[in-house]
Every structure is written in C-alpha cells, then in structure tokens.
Amino acid sequence: MSATWFAKMEPVHSTRGRIRFRYRCRRGTSLEPRQISRAVEAIQGVLTVKVNPVACSLVIEYETDATDTDTLATALLTLAPPDNPLPNGKALASDTARLGAVAMSGATLLASRSLNPSMQMSVAFGTAVPLLGEAIDDFLEKGITSHVLEAMAVAISIGRHDYLAANTTSFLLALGEYLEHSIARRSDDLLKHLLEPGSKEVWVERDGAETLIPAHEVVVGDTVIAATGTVIPIDGTVLGGEALVNEATMTGESVPVVRKRGDKALSGTLVEEGRIRIYAEQVGRQAAAARIADLVEQSLTVKSETQLEASRLADKTVPLVLALAAATWLISRDSERVAAVLQADYSCALKLATPVAFKSAMYRAGHSNILVKGANALERLAKADTFVFDKTGTLTSGALQVTDSITFNHDFSPEDLINLAASVEEHYFHPLAQAVVEAAHSLNRHQHFQHQEVEFVVAHGVASVIDGQRIVVGSRHFIEDDEGIVLAEYKDVLDKINAEGKTILYIGFGGKLLGILVLTDTVRANSAATVARLRALGVKRILMLTGDHYDRASQLAKQLGLDAFHANLLPHEKAKILEELAAQGSTIAFIGDGVNDAPALSGSHVGIAMHRGADIARLAADITLLEDNIARVADARALALSTSKLIDSNFKLTVGLNTGILSAAAFGWLSPVKASMLHNGSTIAILLRALLGGGMPPKTKARASRAPRKQQRMTY
C-alpha cells in the first residue's frame, strides 16, 4: 500500500476560514467519503469537512488562528491511508450516487415502452454501461462470474431488442446495491450516536485563566478542568485536585473511585463529586471513545461466512447456466430458447438476498436497542449452544442495595442504624448514599434523626452532629484514619464480609463504631426470565463466570437455574475457561460488561457487551446492547435464529424457482420475455422478503420466567 493517501490535492477556491480542494486518491487506497472525512477532521485546526466523491471535491472550514491553506494542503498530502481500504480501491459510493443510479434505471424501465424505438437501444445501453464495465473488469481479473452472466443477459436482451428485460435487470441490481449500502450506513449512524461525546464544550486552563472552549479545540498539553457532573472528554493524567469518578463506562465497576494527582483519567467517565485538573494526553480522534468508534465501524464491513458462501455459489452457477444454454442450442437449434435460458440465473437472488437479510436484521436490531457489528456476529450467535455470563453488571444490575445492618451497640436496632445513616446521607448524591436512603424508606418504621449541618468530605463520607454527638458515615479510611475510631475488636466480622466481596459502609457515633451497613449488587429483575427464554430458544448450557466470592456465586447460580458457575476468577482465567469449553466442541456466546471481560469477549465465538459496559468491552464485543436490559440478550438470539431461518428459506426459494424457470425455458415453454419477467419478478419478491422479513420475532414464551422478588435481610 502507498505511504500516503492522496496523489493530488489541488486548491480550487478559498475564502477566509474556508477552502475547497480537488483531490485524487492513490490507486489501492480507500475512496470511502466517511473515511476521508474522519481523517481530515483529525487535522489540527479543522472545524468541518464536506466530501463530494462524485466531483472529488473536499471543502474544509478551519480556524484561521490555528492553521492556513498551505499547512492544510501539506497535512492532507502526508495523510496515511486507513488500515482497511476496500478491495482493489473500489469504495462504496455515496447514498446520493447510488440513489441516482436507482432513479435513472427505474426511470428508464418505466419509460422504455413509450420511447421512440430508435432511442430505446441507446437508452438501455447507456443505463447498462456501469454493469457492462464492471463485468469486463471481472472477466479480465477473475474469468466468468455472476457479473459477467448478468452483463451477458443484459447485452443479449439489448441485441434481441428486448429492452424491458435489459432495463429490469439493471434496475434490480442498482436497487439491491442501494438497499444494502443504505442499511449498512444506518448501522454506522447508530454506533456514532452511541459513542458521541457527552459535551461539545470544555473548560481548560490557559495562561492562568479558566476558559470555556469548543471540545474540538482541546489539544495535547492542555490542562482540562473536570468538576462535578462533567463527563471527562480526554485521556490524561490528573495534575491536581481530588474527585470521585464513576468509571462504569470504562471499567464496569459500580462503585465510583477516587482520582487525585498522578492517577489516570479516562474519556467518557463521569465526575460525580469534586474537581480535578487533567493534563490532556489523548484528544479528539485519538481519545478512547473516538478510537473505538472507528474500529467498530470498520468491523461493520466484514461479511458473514454464509454471505461469502452464497456469493461463491452464485459464481459457481454461472458455468452451469452457460452450459444449459449451450446444450439447449445443440439440441433444439432454437435461438429463442437460448435467449430465454440466458434471461434467468441464480446469481441475482443468491448474491443480494443474503446480505440484504443480514443488513435489514442489523438495522431492525438497532431499533430494538441492539447494535450488531457485522453479519458474521448474527451468524455465530444463531449457532451458539453455550451461553456464558459474567455476573456483576450483567446478571446483576450494578446498583448497590443494603442487605445487612449490623449494630455493635445494643441501644440501637438495625433499623435505627439505617435511619441514622440515611438522615445524614440523604443530602449526599452518591450511589452508596442513595442505596442507604432507599433502604430507610423501605423500612416499616422509617425515622428521621434531627442533625446539625452536614459536612461533606470528598471521596470519604459525611459527618454531622446528632444529640450532641458526632456521627460519621463513610469508608474505613475515613472512620479509622481520619476520625481515629478503633476497629480492632470487630476485625473478624469485617474480614469475613470483605472476603465475601461485599461493600461495607461504616457508621461512627460518639467516637466509637456504632455499626456497619453491608451492600451488594442486586440481581436484575428479569435475569431469571432471560435465562429461561434462552433455554426455550435452544441454548443447551448456561454458565456464569465471576471474580466474586464462591458462596455468593453459588447462591446466584442456584437462584437463576444456571447449569454451572466458576468463582474467584481473574480476567485471564475467564478466557482460559472459554478456551477449554471451545476445545470440548462448544460454540460460545459470552456476555460481559467490564474491562476484565474484554479477553473473554474476544476469545468467545460471539461476544455481547452490556449497555453500561466499559468502552474496551464494547470494542471487543460483536454485539452491544443499547439499553441496560439483559432481556435484549434473548432478543438478539431470537433475531439471529429468525434471520438464519429466513436466509435458509430464501436460498431454497431461489434454487427452486430459478431451477423451474430455467427448465421451462430450456423446454421452450417460456419466451424470453416471460422468462425475464418470472426471473426478475421472483428476484424482487425474494429481495423484498429478505428486506421485510428480517425483523425482531415475537418473544418466545419461557417457563419459570417469573423473577425472584427482592429481599432485604438484616443481621442482628
């Protein structure tokens, strides 16, 4: 591949802050306008980019303070081509160009009967020129292919003055290509919407002053300010300050973490409390979310094995049709029969119906909040016989719930402990605080304790005064190190709870540990129903892998009716277990959400990432859920099975109908016009069936689908 993308970049017209270039890509590089636009947008100082692939025109609006026309021209000519150029440099045309081809061929088809006979040939030939040119290229490069047969059918129809057949074939091919490209583009748009930046403006510190600037103006080396409620827009290192950051989008962890000087800050994570200054290291297209958007978008161009096999089979049928035409001529010496035979073939429906069915299913999946990154993902999901779930954030919600209230003072009941904590926590918007407040409101005896002004200690907890005594609620570090409360006598209890992987909230009152609240992740209300529905959809085994404690994993596996589980696992151990299952002959679908699930997602036959999963998990996965609903996993399986069934039935219809048409034509029972009408009519019907039949099937009724009711357990 060439070292640079563009062979020519000629300025055509420019005004202040705007310039139009006429470009030419080097042979073998991508012509895809979206790829060109993305690459040019990444150049420093560029504001907007418009690409016209037909006119080879590139219009750029830029910041005059950051760059100029000469600098832009130099930067464009040194751009490296993308890693995934389309084969032989044949890129997908724009929607406008493809729709124009459909409109032109459709208009020709409708007008062919009304045109003057002397004009019909030139109009039909002009419409077929792109098809004929592609057929010549195919013949020179690959020999006889379906494109060659299509071109022969059109050419013979034109030669026999059968312009209706020629124009119908041209229209069908143009329509099929437009539909496939349009549906693929809509899938790309879904991904862009999923990963688009949370804010278009960013606070930065420049020359000692804080300034609000557009997000695209942030450069490497800037000091970015992220305060409460801000989604961090860049990847970098914290220079100062302290904040509580929710990194669920990157790590899958439900509990926010403290970020201070020297820590890494990741784009797409949310500052829940506090304020930090971040040195920008990766910005714009180089930030995590943008890189992931690029990589996943590239994966959408990957074809499934079924699609490739259908294309190969379509090419293999070409010599058979030609042989049948030759045999018909040798036996009958009837050119009309030969012409009728050449009007029909298997290739149109075989090559178009399968990709259209896949793309239609992908598009409809998006409307059901499921992003499918390629046809091969649906294909593998339909074949999967073993579903393996991560626990936290997948089978469980990732939202904390108070499960135990343990008091160390007999004057206070477990209910009192919850009410005390909630009285001071209700002013604090933190997941732990919200869980405590919800627990208090669910009590039969909810009581509010009057207190003085609440003191917030960032990333540690809260403090106040009740009945003249100081109450503190927060982390062990806050209680033990900052407040000096001794925890030694409770070591056994605390160690046991920590070993179970649970979260502890400490409550100190009057300088002593009054008690603790134990919180755990909650099981999703529809996890059991989803497991049952997957079994009804033909899944043979359902397993769970988790780094959580064995006892809790065992309890959850029994509650959901899983076949087996593995606990206390490290990330690489999850991937190893999947390798062992694959070696035993299992076809595996893995469902996870965190960074630690990425190896397992990549190592499975098909990976499914939850909506709130880490960016790296969504990158590694083949399917991403666009809403936080585990039921969509079963929906995706149902869609995959439905699409597979549709493709199989379309294949049988194509073979059956076209075999019948070819046989009737060979025996002289069909004229060329009738053969063309039957063939093209059946092709349209099969294509429309592929387009309209790829929707989400009705939900399968599953036994034992009632989810377990949530319970709150208190330990006295």
What residue type is assigned to position 199 of the chain?
A: S
Q: Is 129 exposed, middle or buried (0-12, 13-18, 19+ CB in 10 A)?
A: exposed
- What is the DSSP annotation of 670-681? S-HHHHHHHHHH
- Give the CA angle between residues 349, 355, 357 to the nearest 5°: 85
Of 429, 362, 448, whose CA–CA distance to 182 is shortest?
362
How far is it, in rounded angstroms, from Cα 206 to Cα 218?
Answer: 11
Spell out the residues 6+ positions from residue 669 whose beta carbon is closer than 8 angstroms to its own. none
Q: Could you tell me which residues are beta bridge partners of residue 46?
A: 62
Residue among 531, 505, 530, 503 nearest 516 (CA):
505
**Length of the chain in terms of residues written:** 716
Closest CA to 53 of 7, 97, 104: 97
Dihedral of the alpha carbons of 422, 425, 431, 434, in degrees to the nearest 10: 40
Among residues 287, 280, 269, 268, which one has the least CA distance to residue 236?
280
Catalytic residue among 222, 235, 390, 521: 390
The C-alpha atoms of residue 234 and residue 231 are separated, in whole angstroms, by 9
Distance CA 492, CA 650 (A): 66
Complete DSSP assignment for 212-260: EEEGGG--TT-EEEEETTPBP-SEEEEEEEEEEEE-HHHH--SS-EEEE
Angle at CA of residue 134, ends 131 and 138, nearest 5°: 135
- Alpha-carbon distance 161 to 339, whole Å? 12
The yes-or-no answer on residue 222 being catalytic is no
* Six token digits for residue 201: 């403006």
What single string gives the DSSP state of each residue in 566-621?
Answer: E-S--HHHHHHHHHHHHHTT--EEEEE-SGGGHHHHHHSSEEEE-TT--HHHHHH-
Please count the other Cβ atoms lying within 10 Å of the Cβ belonging to residue 367: 12
Number of H helices, E strands in the chain: 23, 24
Among 683, 601, 650, which residue's Cα sits nearest to residue 170? 683
- Angle (CA) 693-699-704 rounded to 5° is 160
Cα separation, 630 vs 529, in Å, equals 10
Active site residues: 390
